[in-house]
C-alpha cells in the first residue's frame, strides 16, 4: 500500500472501534480527517468533541453531532493522529497547530487511540519532527529566550509570511533539542516556563497506536 492507502486503512480500523451512543474526541490532521469522514459515511450515531475549528466544520458537514468539551464529563474514546511515535508509544503532536485542544480532549477520554502511517515511526522522539510549543503572543520573544536556556532551538511558525495563530489565538514555536535530553524532564521544564501554554509531547497518553504499513494495519498497545 502507498501512504494514502495506509491512512485510509487505519481510518477504517479506527472508525470500526466507535459504537453508537459514544462520546468521541475527533482529532485534527490528515489521518484524523479520514476517520471523521469514515464516521460520517457510516452514519454512526455519536456525539463528537472536535479538537479544532477545521475538524468541527468537517464533522458538521458530515452530519456528526457535536458538543463542547465543557458539555461532557467524560469521553468514551478519542481518535487522533501524531507527527511521531516511539517504541514506548509516546508521541509528538502539534504540527497541525491544534496541540492544546488535542491534549485537552485526549486527557478527557477513557481511551486514546492514535492513528498514523508507518512513516511516523521513530526510534526516539525528535528524530524528524520538532516539538511544537504553544505560547502566548505577549512577550513571546522572552518566552523563546527562556526555552533557549533549556537547550531548545525554537523557531516561530509562520504561514504566508505571517505568524501562525492557533484557534486559541496563540503562537507556536517549533523546537529542536539535543537528543541526549530526557523527554519527561524536558516536558516538565517546558510546561513550567512562563509564557508557555502547552507543548506537543504526549507521554503516556496513547493506549493504542494503529499503524498503517505496507502489509496492513498494525495494532500496538501500551
Kindly list the catalytic residues: 102
Block residue for cell numbers 495494532 = 219
Distance CA 62, CA 46 (A): 12
Angle at alpha carbon of residue 13, lines to 12 and 15, rounded to 5°:
65
Distance CA 30, CA 120 (A): 13
Q: What is the 3-state secondary structure (H, E, C) of 121-190?
A: ECCCCCCCCCEEEEECCCCHHHHHHHHHHCCEEEEECEECCEECCCCCCCEEEEEEECCCCCHHHHHHHH
β-pairing verdict for 84-85 and 158-159: unpaired
Amino acid at each position: 500500500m502507498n501512504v494514502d492507502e495506509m491512512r485510509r486503512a487505519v481510518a477504517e480500523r479506527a472508525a470500526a472501534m466507535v459504537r453508537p451512543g459514544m462520546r468521541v474526541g475527533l482529532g485534527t490532521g490528515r489521518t484524523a480527517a479520514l476517520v471523521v469522514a469514515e464516521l460520517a459515511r457510516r452514519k454512526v450515531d455519536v456525539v463528537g468533541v472536535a479538537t479544532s475549528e477545521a475538524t468541527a466544520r468537517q464533522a458538521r458537514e458530515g452530519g456528526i453531532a457535536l458538543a463542547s468539551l465543557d458539555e461532557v464529563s467524560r469521553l468514551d474514546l478519542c481518535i487522533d493522529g501524531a507527527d511521531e511515535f516511539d517504541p514506548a508509544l509516546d508521541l509528538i503532536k502539534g504540527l497541525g497547530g491544534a496541540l492544546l485542544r488535542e491534549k485537552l480532549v485526549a486527557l478527557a477520554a477513557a481511551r486514546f487511540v492514535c492513528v498514523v502511517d508507518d512513516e511516523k515511526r521513530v526510534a526516539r522522539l525528535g528524530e524528524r519532527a520538532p516539538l511544537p510549543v504553544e505560547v502566548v503572543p505577549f512577550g513571546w520573544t522572552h518566552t523563546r529566550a527562556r526555552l533557549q536556556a533549556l537547550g531548545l532551538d525554537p523557531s516561530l511558525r509562520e504561514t504566508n509570511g505571517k505568524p501562525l495563530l492557533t484557534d486559541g489565538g496563540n503562537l507556536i514555536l517549533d523546537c529542536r533539542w539535543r537528543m541526549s535530553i530526557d523527554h519527561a524532564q524536558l516536558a516538565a521544564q517546558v510546561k513550567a516556563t512562563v509564557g508557555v501554554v502547552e507543548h506537543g509531547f504526549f507521554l503516556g497518553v496513547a493506549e493504542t497506536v494503529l499503524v498503517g504499513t505496507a502489509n496492513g494495519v498494525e495494532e500496538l498497545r501500551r
